[in-house]
């Protein structure tokens, strides 16, 4: 009876994890798309109402701010993620060195770390690397770092894979009070495990180590240390080859990204003399995939290593009409656009994180008369992006230094980049 109870409890916690990470996994895929369509429709209704409050007549049929097309399905439904982040914490059995994903909340104080074996969107390769990492730390005399102030060392694992067959593993480690000699020992043990020990089965292309004393650290704050293999992995997308660094942004669904970028190219309506402004460009995927359509691409990206990747990608693919600027968009873009005198048509594409665009970026776009067409790609349109939409479309506001002619939303297309989850990538086309 105890064995049956244990097995039942294990299945229950696995189902809880699947429900938390991929809450739509039980629904047939067409029903998932309909659920997402309805959620995007509500977002556009909310935007229409908010615009009405600003005195803008934005009500279209169905109470939307603009026409909404059906959700574009993902070409791949299962195991589509090319990047997974695994935590280290106590499992349902109390093991403090469980590598997996969280179930529960900090508020309820019921967080447990559950292996991702039954999560539909994570590839088997990612699960294999996570299992090997758990095996390694289980034999380590060092504790896992669950709470920084309580000590411990072993922390997150990030796994990145590509369709080229490359696998990158990034292990985050809290050094606490360890000296350089002790740190060198741990790095040597990790390398040995993944190159000649049980972890060799993972066939890692790259193994990175990061000593981090914060929840998240950039390369500049805590450099990624290459322990084994190549410094980059490579991906092919729309006939181009892209180099990817440990912390560079790349759409998590590669096949879905190809569909998304092709649609972006069509929506830009870029003629041969157009200049494309690619804001939050990451490794340059959008700008480089559209470079053949336009006269020039200007990319802006905060992650310095991603800009290096973008420049390498342009050179490797023989693309010479691109330039990339490293720095925060709110610092780079106002300077770039304030003195804009180029007579060529200027189209902007923005693809920010969930935090949306800084208000200074929106202000710079709004006040640049040359930008008549703007594509906003949002992974969370109901969040901070909503504030961006309102600032782009509101009447001129001297208090916010929004002097330029307002934009108007004219078309919305959702893309299912995240099957089995409730998330959707929404492309909103603004014109003026």
Percent helix, percent strand, percent coil in the chain, to nearest 5? 35, 25, 40
Residue 244 makes CB contacts below 8 A (sequence gap 6+) with: 160, 162, 168, 232, 233, 234, 235, 250, 283, 309
pLDDT for the residue numbered 7: 58
Residue 139 makes CB contacts below 8 A (sequence gap 6+) with: none
Residue 306 makes CB contacts below 8 A (sequence gap 6+) with: 245, 247, 248, 249, 281, 282, 283
Task: Give catalytic residues, as residue numbers.
Answer: 379
Per-residue pLDDT band for 213 (boundaries 50, 70, 90) equals: confident
How high does pLDDT run on average in the chain? 92
- Rounded to an integer, the average pLDDT of 367-371 is 91
Residues 171, 172, 174: CA angle, nearest 5 degrees = 140
Asked whether 160 and 200 are in contact (CB, 8 A), the reply is no
Closest-CA residue to 390 (of 28, 12, 48, 122): 48
**CA dist 379 to 33, 173, 238, 422, Å?**
16, 29, 21, 11
Domains of the chain (ranges, CATH numbers):
83-230 (2.40.50.1070), 253-431 (3.40.50.150)
β-bridge pairing 83-89 and 98-103:
antiparallel
How far apart are alpha carbons 300 and 336 in whole angstroms?
A: 10
- Rounded to an integer, the average pLDDT of 110-119 is 90
Residue 402, number of CB atoms within 10 A of its CB: 18
pLDDT for the residue numbered 110: 78
pLDDT in tens, 265-313: 999 998 889 999 999 999 999 999 999 999 999 999 998 889 999 999 9
Per-residue pLDDT band for 400 (boundaries 50, 70, 90) equals: confident
pLDDT surpassing 60 at residue 368: yes
192 assigned ligand-binding residue: no
Per-residue pLDDT band for 1 (boundaries 50, 70, 90) equals: very low
Per-residue pLDDT band for 335 (boundaries 50, 70, 90) equals: confident
- Rounded to an integer, the average pLDDT of 18-22 is 90
Asked whether 15 and 39 are in contact (CB, 8 A), the reply is no
Gap between the terminal Cα atoms of the chain = 69
Strands of 333-370, DSSP E = 346-350
pLDDT surpassing 50 at residue 339: yes
- Rounded to an integer, the average pLDDT of 249-254 is 93
221 assigned ligand-binding residue: no
Residue 348, number of CB atoms within 10 A of its CB: 25
pLDDT in tens, 145-164: 988 889 999 999 999 999 99
pLDDT for the residue numbered 10: 65
Q: Which residues pair with 41 in a beta bridge?
A: none
Tokens describing residue 336: 């770039």
Q: Three-state SS for 403?
A: coil
- Rounded to an integer, the average pLDDT of 362-383 is 93
Per-residue pLDDT band for 61 (boundaries 50, 70, 90) equals: confident
251 assigned ligand-binding residue: yes
The percentage of the chain sitting over the pLDDT mark of 90, rounded to a whole number, equals 77
How far apart are alpha carbons 243 and 238 in whole angstroms?
A: 14
Q: What are phi and psi of 273, to 5 degrees?
A: -100, 5
pLDDT surpassing 60 at residue 6: no
Per-residue pLDDT band for 5 (boundaries 50, 70, 90) equals: very low
Q: What are phi and psi of 404, to 5 degrees?
A: -70, 165
Asked whether 168 and 85 are in contact (CB, 8 A), the reply is no
pLDDT surpassing 50 at residue 255: yes
């Amino acid at each position: 009876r105890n064995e049956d109870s244990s097995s039942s409890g294990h299945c229950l916690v696995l189902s809880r994890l699947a429900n938390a990470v991929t809450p739509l996994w039980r629904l047939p895929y067409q029903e998932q798309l309909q659920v997402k369509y309805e959620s995007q429709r509500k977002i556009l209704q909310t935007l229409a109402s908010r615009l009405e409050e600003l005195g803008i007549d934005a009500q279209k049929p169905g109470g939307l701010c603009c026409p909404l097309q059906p959700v574009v399905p993902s070409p791949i439904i299962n195991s589509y993620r090319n990047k997974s982040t695994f935590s280290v914490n106590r499992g349902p059995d109390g093991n403090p060195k469980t590598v997996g994903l969280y179930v529960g909340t900090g508020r309820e104080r019921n967080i447990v770390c559950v292996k991702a074996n039954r999560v539909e969107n994570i590839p088997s390769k990612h699960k294999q690397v996570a299992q090997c990492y758990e095996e390694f730390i289980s034999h380590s005399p060092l504790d896992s770092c669950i709470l920084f102030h309580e000590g411990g060392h072993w922390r997150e694992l990030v796994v990145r894979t590509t369709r080229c067959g490359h696998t990158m593993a990034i292990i985050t480690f809290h050094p606490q009070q360890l000296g350089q000699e002790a740190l060198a020992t741990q790095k040597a043990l990790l390398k040995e495990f993944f190159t000649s020990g049980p972890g060799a089965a993972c066939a890692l292309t790259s193994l990175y180590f990061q000593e981090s004393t914060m929840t998240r650290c950039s390369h500049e704050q805590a450099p990624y240390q290459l322990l084994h293999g190549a410094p980059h992995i490579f991906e092919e997308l729309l006939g181009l080859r892209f180099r990817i660094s440990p912390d560079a942004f790349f759409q998590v669904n590669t096949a879905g990204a190809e569909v998304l970028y092709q649609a972006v190219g069509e929506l830009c309506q870029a003629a041969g003399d157009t200049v494309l402004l690619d804001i939050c460009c990451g490794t340059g995927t959008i700008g480089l995939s559209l470079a053949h359509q336009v006269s020039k691409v200007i990319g802006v990206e905060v992650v310095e290593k991603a800009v290096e990747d973008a420049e390498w990608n342009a050179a490797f693919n023989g693309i010479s009409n691109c330039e990339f600027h490293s720095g925060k968009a709110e610092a780079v873009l106002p300077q770039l656009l304030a003195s804009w005198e180029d007579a060529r048509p200027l189209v902007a594409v923005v693809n920010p994180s969930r935090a949306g665009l800084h208000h200074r970026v929106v202000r710079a776009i709004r006040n640049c008369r040359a930008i008549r067409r703007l594509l906003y790609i949002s992974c969370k349109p109901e969040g901070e992006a909503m504030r961006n939409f309102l600032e782009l479309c509101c009447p001129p506001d001297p208090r916010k230094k929004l002097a330029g002619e307002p934009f108007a939303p004219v078309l919305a297309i959702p893309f299912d980049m995240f099957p089995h989850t409730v998330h959707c990538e929404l492309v909103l086309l603004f014109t003026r």
